[in-house]
Amino acid sequence: MRVGCRPVNAGISSSRLDVPAANAHIRTDMTDNSDLFTAKMAAIGFAPPELPDGLPPPEALEAADRTSRFWTSDHAGELRVGTPDHRREACKMFRETFNPYRPAVIAWPQLSPDMLRRVTSLPIWDIAVHTEGRARLRFASYAAITPTPEIRDALMLNAWEENRHKEVLSNLAKTYGIALGPEPAYRVPRDPEWMYLVTGYCECIDSFFAFGLFELARRSGFFPLALVQTFEPVIQEECRHILLFANLVAWQRASLPWWRRIVFELRVAAAWVYIAWERLVLARSMKSNGMGTGQDSNFTMSSAQAVTPVEIGVRDLMTICLEENDRRFAGYDARLVRPKAIPALVRLGLFLTRPWTRKRRSDDAGRIDEGSPAGG
């Protein structure tokens, strides 16, 4: 689930933000519902994992949580990117860190009327459900054309987990009386590799900011801790997803012959351009729907104001995102590749804005000095 993956605008008066999400406008050849996803997964030979019955005891939940966030390969020595060993261990990481929670038995905490209002008025629920609905089909479609069995298995599990996120969100909405709108017609992509790249990089961006926003929500106490903790496995699952994605892309990049690699790199670059364009369209669409001001193109900052009662600056929020990103990946084998682009861009942004921040601090200090009464 990508709770933080789409804009949350604290100033929005509407209780629902339902604008076309990622790639909704792309024409493809089939419409979808949950049956189509289930049929697709069955057609490519996916056997759903067995999940424990009933509500697991706290020790079992803790053990599953530990399993999902710490993993070290037993492969001795270097794991050179692009080798069969690298591919095998990346897929093994994904398989062995699986968390077998069952959405139907999640114990949703009782909320006070005030908390309930806060949760139900967040305008993210529809778009989060739709995003998961699309992601599951896109991962399943890419799995269907992937010739390497271990990669196909990992991608199918990834798709299944996206569907589980969708179930978690639907159950949350049902529990707290959030009225979800009708779902769009999900479509099987005509070009599964392209859509896999777009969806994977979208997840890398969204998860990075979601990690920080989630931590901000936890620290602020603006939402009950029990509810925040209920979502923890889902957020860590997104961390595993982007870890798998980063490694599969790195493996593919390194294992392709030079002429195919050029094509692949062009597709990767086009995916980034496409995502940037798509988000500009989304921001414009929100604005024209009267869902806020031009400032709303700054989704992450708007989201931050929705999860904390105090004002938070961009630099502070970005610092939290970086810290959380490092913390969430710290438990996985250091020889695996991490998603690098967004953390590197944010680090660069923080570095470049340092002189400006120092100047502002000294200006503020000067103003305080001028305003203070003379001592002695």
- What's the min distance (Å) between Cβ of 61 and Fe ion? 20
Supply the minimum distance, in Å, between the C-beta of residue 75 and Fe ion. 25
Tokens of 312: 């938070």
Run of H or E residues at 208:
helix 192-220
Q: Is residue 206 close enough to count as binding Fe ion by CB under 5 A?
A: no
* Between 275 and 291, CB nearer to Fe ion: 275
CB nearer to Fe ion: pick between 201 and 299: 201
Q: Which is nearer to Fe ion, 187 or 241 (CB)?
A: 241
Query: What mask, x for binding Fe ion by CB under 5 A, covers residues 150 to 189?
Result: ------------x--x------------------------
CB atoms within 10 A of CB 19: 21
Number of residues counted as binding Fe ion (CB under 5 A): 6
Cα–Cα distances (Å) from 347 to 235, 272, 303, in that order, read: 22, 19, 20
Given the complex with Fe ion, which of 2 and 296 has the nearer CB atom? 2
Report yes or no: 235 and 217 within 8 Å, Cβ to Cβ. Answer: no
Question: Do 301 and 314 form a contact (C-beta atoms < 8 A)?
Answer: yes
Closest distance to Fe ion from the beta carbon of 200 (Å): 9
Q: Token digits for 32?
A: 């979808």
Amino acid at 67: T
Q: Which of 1, 3, 248, 286 binds Fe ion (CB under 5 A)?
A: 1
User: In this complex, which beta carbon is closest to Fe ion, that of residue 158 or of residue 302?
Assistant: 158
Q: Between 126 and 238, whose beta carbon lies closer to Fe ion?
A: 238
| Tokens standing for residue 131 | 């995003």
Instruction: Measure the CA dihedral 160/158/202/290, to 10°.
Output: 20
The residues that bridge with 186 in the sheet, in sequence order, are: 32
CB-count burial class (<10 Å; 0-12, 13-18, 19+) for 44: middle
Q: How far is the CB of 94 from Fe ion (least distance, A)?
A: 11
CB burial string 202-239: b at 16+ within 10 A, e below: bbbbbbbbbbbbbbbbbeeebbbeebbebbebbbbbbb
Mark the segment that binds Fe ion (CB under 5 A) among 64-72, 97-105, 239-247, 293-301: 239-247
| Closest chain position to Fe ion (CB) | 241
Indicate the angle between helix axes 341-352 and 314-329, nearest 10 degrees. 140
Site for Fe ion in 73-132 (CB under 5 A): 132
- In order of 13, 20, 22, 121, the CA distances from 289 in angstroms are 12, 11, 17, 18
Residue 1 CB, nearest approach to Fe ion (Å): 4
Rounded least distance, CB 2 to Fe ion, Å:
5
Residue 89 or 238 with smaller CB distance to Fe ion: 238
Nearest of 350, 300, 115, 121 to residue 220 by alpha carbon: 115
Q: Which is nearer to Fe ion, 111 or 242 (CB)?
A: 242
Rounded Cα–Cα distance for residues 219 and 198 (Å): 32
- How far apart are CB 260 and Fe ion at their closest, in Å? 27
Q: In the complex with Fe ion, which residue's Cβ is closer, 220 or 230? A: 230
**Residue 99 beta carbon to Fe ion: minimum distance, rounded to whole angstroms:** 13
Contact 109, 224 (CB under 8 A): yes
Q: How far is the CB of 263 from Fe ion (least distance, A)?
A: 26
Given candidates 136, 138, 241, 328, which one binds Fe ion under the rule CB under 5 A? 241
Q: What is the binding site for Fe ion (CB under 5 A)?
A: 1, 132, 162, 165, 238, 241
